[in-house]
């Protein structure tokens, strides 16, 4: 008879999952309300494009900006046309992801909130074309509608980040942070986006509130990821965090590099091309996360980004150091500091030889530091495979197998059944088999 052997593991009850699906009348009202908010914002965005594309008086353009345009071979009118086309292109991606979420997931109120955030971004306080300020100055009658849209954009962004991805606040006292977000959004957008209530407040008054809000937001996501989120929700969080983190990192690098360059072309490229293009990582990551499209690939993507990003920075610094050091050495030996082609060849060959060893070491370090569970599981499986070939004791093998499964997969319950073949079936099989063969053992695990 089979003897089941089980090894129970400590388990924790899964947290209750908030219901974000909409049905019936609530679904119809949510869709109608979304369209009521979105359609006016699109009209304001189109109006802002029309206003920004109009030629400006020569006195309204700073001399530094005119110099920058002339350095890249653009006139003021040509720049206005190019800037308008690029704004249309980048804004179309924000709108496209938002409307795609509305089309595919409008029965989920959290997806509707994410779609609203993406659509209102083009007219909100973080828009690329500075729509609130441009329209408010050109048409004062639109000040109140612009303030309302900007208020909704900032508020919905804060609420979405505090609720994502489970649809509920974690921990519950984050409701106070939602209230603070609403207050800060109101003070930052009324009575007009160009001159809000907090426009003249000193920095020591605004900075603590900003640090508290965004610090609480980061704490909420960490708390949710570790204690509340399911495996799928953790993958969703990784997508959004990855997109936002890469965008912020690239922007910080651009802000660091731009002041070091005296070329107007670099300033033009960073300000009007690279900055808006980098922000596109945010809607794309949110769209992938909400739609749950190939979420399992994000771990590999993050791992490769960490490995090759660190490898590029390390080898780039080493390459520059080799060139500077070898040129200095050549100058001391030969008495000249002129650039030597041999130095470039030696440095390039050294970097090429170091690429694979450095990549393997970085991969092992990152796996140990950030993917410890996966790293330990691979080591445990490798050790079990090595001992499996030499183990002949069935009881010892059973204990080792259960230990490896418990260590690598960490299930809530582990059971192993070994079914022995019945005696008469074994004897009958022996009679039917030709001489020199034996029946296979039927072990089931």
Residue 31 pLDDT: 93
pLDDT digits (tens, 9 = 90+) for 121-132: 888 766 665 656
281 and 364: one domain?
no
Residue 276 pLDDT: 84
Residue 442 pLDDT: 40
pLDDT digits (tens, 9 = 90+) for 336-346: 555 567 777 78
Range of the domain at 169: 24-55+63-295
Last-in-domain residue among 273, 295, 317? 295
254 and 361: one domain?
no
> Which residues touch 439 (CB under 8 Å, ≥6 apart)?
421, 426, 429, 430, 433
Asked if residue 7 is part of any domain, the answer here is no
Residue 179 pLDDT: 92
328 and 395: one domain?
no
**Distance of alpha carbon 75 from alpha carbon 79, whole angstroms:** 6
Residue 35 pLDDT: 93
Is 165:231 a contact under the CB 8 Å cutoff?
no
291 and 343: one domain?
no
Number of domains into which the chain is organized: 3
Asked if residue 445 is part of any domain, the answer here is no
Residue 295 pLDDT: 62
172 and 258: one domain?
yes
Residue 194 pLDDT: 74
244 and 286: one domain?
yes
Asked if residue 284 is part of any domain, the answer here is yes
Residue 52 pLDDT: 74
Q: How far is CA 385 from the centre of its chain?
A: 36
Give pLDDT < 70 ranges for the chain.
1-19, 55-69, 71-73, 76, 125-132, 261-265, 293-299, 301, 333-340, 369-394, 400, 404-414, 418-445
Q: Which residues of 390-406 are buried (b: 16+ CB within 10 A; e: fewer)?
A: eeeeeeeeeebbbebbb
Is 298:235 a contact under the CB 8 Å cutoff?
yes
Last-in-domain residue among 370, 405, 422? 370
Asked if residue 165 is part of any domain, the answer here is yes
Specify the DSSP class assigned to residue 129: T
69 and 158: one domain?
yes
Between the alpha carbon of residue 295 and those of residues 231, 233, 373, the distances in Å are: 10, 10, 19
> Which residues touch 107 (CB under 8 Å, ≥6 apart)?
21, 22, 23, 27
Between the alpha carbon of residue 160 and those of residues 155, 233, 402, the distances in Å are: 9, 14, 43
pLDDT digits (tens, 9 = 90+) for 362-409: 887 777 766 655 555 566 666 666 666 666 666 777 776 777 666 555
76 and 123: one domain?
yes
Last-in-domain residue among 295, 330, 359? 295
Residue 408 pLDDT: 59
363 and 390: one domain?
no
392 and 248: one domain?
no
149 and 36: one domain?
yes
Asked if residue 11 is part of any domain, the answer here is no
Asked if residue 198 is part of any domain, the answer here is yes
Residues facing 108 on adjacent strands: 21
């Amino acid at each position: 008879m089979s003897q089941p052997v089980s090894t129970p593991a400590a388990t924790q009850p899964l947290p209750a999952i908030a219901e974000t699906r909409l049905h019936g009348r609530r679904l119809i009202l949510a869709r109608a309300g979304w369209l009521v908010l979105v359609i006016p914002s699109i009209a304001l965005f189109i109006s802002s494009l029309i206003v920004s594309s109009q030629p400006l008086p020569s006195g309204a353009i700073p001399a530094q900006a005119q110099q920058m345009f002339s350095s890249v071979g653009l006139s003021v009118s040509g720049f206005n046309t190019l800037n308008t086309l690029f704004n249309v292109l980048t804004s179309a991606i924000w709108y496209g992801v938002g409307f795609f979420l509305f089309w595919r997931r409008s029965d989920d109120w959290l997806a509707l909130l994410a779609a609203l955030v993406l659509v209102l971004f083009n007219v909100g306080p973080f828009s690329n074309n500075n729509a609130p300020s441009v329209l408010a100055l050109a048409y004062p009658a639109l000040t109140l509608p612009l303030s309302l849209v900007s208020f909704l954009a900032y508020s919905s962004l804060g609420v979405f980040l505090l609720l994502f991805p489970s649809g509920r606040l974690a921990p519950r006292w984050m409701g106070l942070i939602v209230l603070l977000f609403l207050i800060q959004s109101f003070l930052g957008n009324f009575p007009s986006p160009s001159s809000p209530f907090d426009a003249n407040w000193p920095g020591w008054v605004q900075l603590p509130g900003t640090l508290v809000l965004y610090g609480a937001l980061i704490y909420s996501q960490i708390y949710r990821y570790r204690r509340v989120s399911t495996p799928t929700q953790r993958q969703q969080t990784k997508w959004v965090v990855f997109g936002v983190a890469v965008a912020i990192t690239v922007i910080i690098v651009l802000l660091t590099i731009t002041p070091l360059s005296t070329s107007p072309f670099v300033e033009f490229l960073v300000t009007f091309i690279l900055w808006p293009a980098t922000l596109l990582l945010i809607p794309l990551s949110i769209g992938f996360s909400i739609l749950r499209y190939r979420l399992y690939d994000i771990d590999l993507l993050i791992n490769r980004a960490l490995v090759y990003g660190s490898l590029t920075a390390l080898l780039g610094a080493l390459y520059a150091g080799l060139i500077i050091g070898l040129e200095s050495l050549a100058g001391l030996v030969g008495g000249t500091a002129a650039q030597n082609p041999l130095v470039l060849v030696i440095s390039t060959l050294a970097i090429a030889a170091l690429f694979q060893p450095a990549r393997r070491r970085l991969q092992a370090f990152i796996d140990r530091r950030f993917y410890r569970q996966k790293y330990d599981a691979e080591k445990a499986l490798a050790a079990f495979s090595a001992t499996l070939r030499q183990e002949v004791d069935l009881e010892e093998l059973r204990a080792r197998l259960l230990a490896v499964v418990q260590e690598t997969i960490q299930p809530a319950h582990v059971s192993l059944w070994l079914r022995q073949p019945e005696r008469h079936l074994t004897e009958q099989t022996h009679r039917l088999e030709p001489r020199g063969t034996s029946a296979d053992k039927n072990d089931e695990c």
